[in-house]
Structure 1
């Protein structure tokens, strides 16, 4: 039975699967929190590899259940191009988290839907609606709130801070790259299946990042062992994010699931305040909520 019918006929069941969507947001935020802890001792190259490699023991057995679909040339082109772009963006993602506060870096990923309104018409022929444009305005307005305390230095100062601070600046680049990889993901899924594509991409990242990790990571075995908990945690939470998201989108509208998943940025603001004593909780929380609302509008459009 399709997701729409399931949602209409069993309201209590839909609420259960919406719970999986909220778990997706929780695990996504915990993945970022684990990465932030690990980056205190281990560089972004090792963390990026661990995020994919340590997820595989959980994800690979799923293939025995779903099977391997017939793969064509379009799939292999998508996995190659998308995999290379995702490998670059993943390293930049972790570097951004290492360089700046979680509460101002993670919210920048909500700019991906805004960039998609630019890239999607060219790549997959999808065009924005009026409600989507309004969602963009909310994302931009919410980003202004992240550094609203600097407004006394000039009305445009909150925007300038996003470009001056290396973490948010790098994360904006990641969001831009993801606007391309999101379209490539769609091509990959259309030429395989959602579950197989996710497992294949994770495997590609683990393999492609391995030699890069060896070249640029000079950590001792003792240091890696000492950081085993956050390294394993980031892989486990990455896998759990995938599993709960796949369960949710099978029974609830995809638009709802993705919008709720982006709510992980709200949790990241709390984690930054609780575990790293990051300042400006109220302003940043308001800003992120506005940005997530913008994501929701764009997704629905």
Structure 2
């Protein structure tokens, strides 16, 4: 039985490591074609919700506890903001940079545990933080880009001042909080039930947001959806696979171990950025991503 759980969890983690960066590729392609990040996120939620209703005959609609609904509402709300910020970051930034930045989620998790659970990190955890900072410097230290900027611009575009990095950091903070509450919802139900309501509530939240902010542009975005339907379909498939794999991993593994293993996708993001968008500095970014992955593993496993 234990071997079966380990095999299922390992397969889920492996699938997520590949599917998540691939979903980022499709998000970036759509935003490059003038798709609105909020609209992209809402369509993704909506299509996945409809797929669940049509093909998932064993969904649970009754008998769910108040604890499940509270956890699911909070998780879905934070997931919505996290996904919208992520797509916005992909629009203006390099995939090979923003993928490795996700390793900072390990630091966020460590800080949350310090204040909420009084879990003070050990020396290995502090070494992991240092490795993530060093790795991010290696990934982001584009001397060629800096040489093309004015001195005043260089100061403004430091590590945490670059808009795409700010958006990606905001996305991972929301995602880290979302993950904690999603884990509780999964424990109180099943991975498939939590997945369905993650899609449904996410669609409801984004649809309300669209009604409030996109009254004059939703028709243009709908036309773009029809013209780019194959890319939207590919995005929905990869996001669906990513989230379902995450739910399965969280159901069978401690959050810390799953989080550490998820960071391996940073290396895949660098390779995808080079392959799909001809992003430069591939060797430097691979080295930096590797350092950040090592730091995340130290924080979540040994810290």
- Pick the TM interval, shorter chain: 0.7 to 0.9
Residue 200 of structure 1: aligned partner:
197
* Equivalent position of 1:259 in the other structure: 260
CA distance in 2 between counterparts of 1:268 and 1:159 reads 26
> C-alpha root-mean-square deviation of aligned residues, in Å?
3.1
Residue 24 in 1 paired to residue 6 in 2?
no
Structure 1: distance between partners of 2:172 and 2:283 = 24
Cross-structure match for 1:10: none
- Aligned to 1:162, the other structure's residue is in SS state coil
Partner of 1:211: 208
Distance 1:299 1:95, change over 3 A: same
8 Å contact kept, 2:132–2:293:
yes
* 2:301 alignment counterpart: 300
How far 1:134 moved relative to its partner?
A: 2.2
User: Which consecutive residues of structure 1, in runs of 5 or more, have no partner in the other structure?
Assistant: 8-12
Structure 1 residue 179 and structure 2 residue 171: aligned? no
Answering whether residue 156 of structure 2 is matched by residue 148 of structure 1, we say: no
1:37 paired to 2:38: no
Distance (Å, rounded) in 2 between the aligned partners of 1:230 and 1:96: 18
Shift of 1:296: 1.8
1:161 to 148, 158, 163: 158
The structural deviation recorded for 1:73 is 2.7
Taking the aligned partners of 1:79 and 1:289, their CA distance within structure 2 comes to 33
What's the CA shift for 1:254? 6.2
Q: Matched residues in 2 for 1:38 and 1:204: separation?
A: 23
Q: Does 1:137 align with 2:133?
A: no
Alignment CA distance shift 1:191-1:246 (3 Å): closer
Q: Secondary structure at the match of 2:232?
A: helix
Secondary structure of residue in 2 paired with 1:163: coil
Mapped to 1, the partners of 2:43 and 2:118 lie a distance apart of 35
Task: Find the aligned partners of 1:168 and 1:186 in 2 and give their Cα distance.
Answer: 27
Cα separation, 2, equivalents of 1:38 and 1:68: 34
- Post-superposition shift, 1:247? 5.0
Corresponding residue for residue 282 of structure 1: 283
Which range moved further: 228-237 or 18-27?
Answer: 18-27
Shift of 1:96: 0.6
Instruction: Work out whether residues 63 and 196 of structure 1, in 8 Å CA contact, stay in contact via their aligned partners in 2.
Output: no
How far does residue 33 in structure 1 lie from its aligned partner after superposition? 0.5
Q: 1:70–1:192: 8 Å Cα contact kept in structure 2?
A: no
1:92 is the counterpart of 2:93 = no
TM-score by length of 1: 0.82
- The answer (yes or no) to whether the contact 2:183–2:250 under 8 Å persists in 1 is no
CA deviations on 1:45-75 (whole Å, 9 max, x unpaired) are 1111122222234445686447468433332
Query: Alpha-carbon deviations, 1:243-275, whole Å to 9, x = none?
Result: 344555667776554433322221111121122
Moved more, 233-242 or 29-38: 233-242
How many Å separate the matches in 2 of 1:220 and 1:184?
32
SS at match of 1:128: coil
Deviation at 1:285, TM superposition (A): 1.1
- In terms of mean alpha carbon deviation, does 175-184 or 221-230 score higher? 175-184
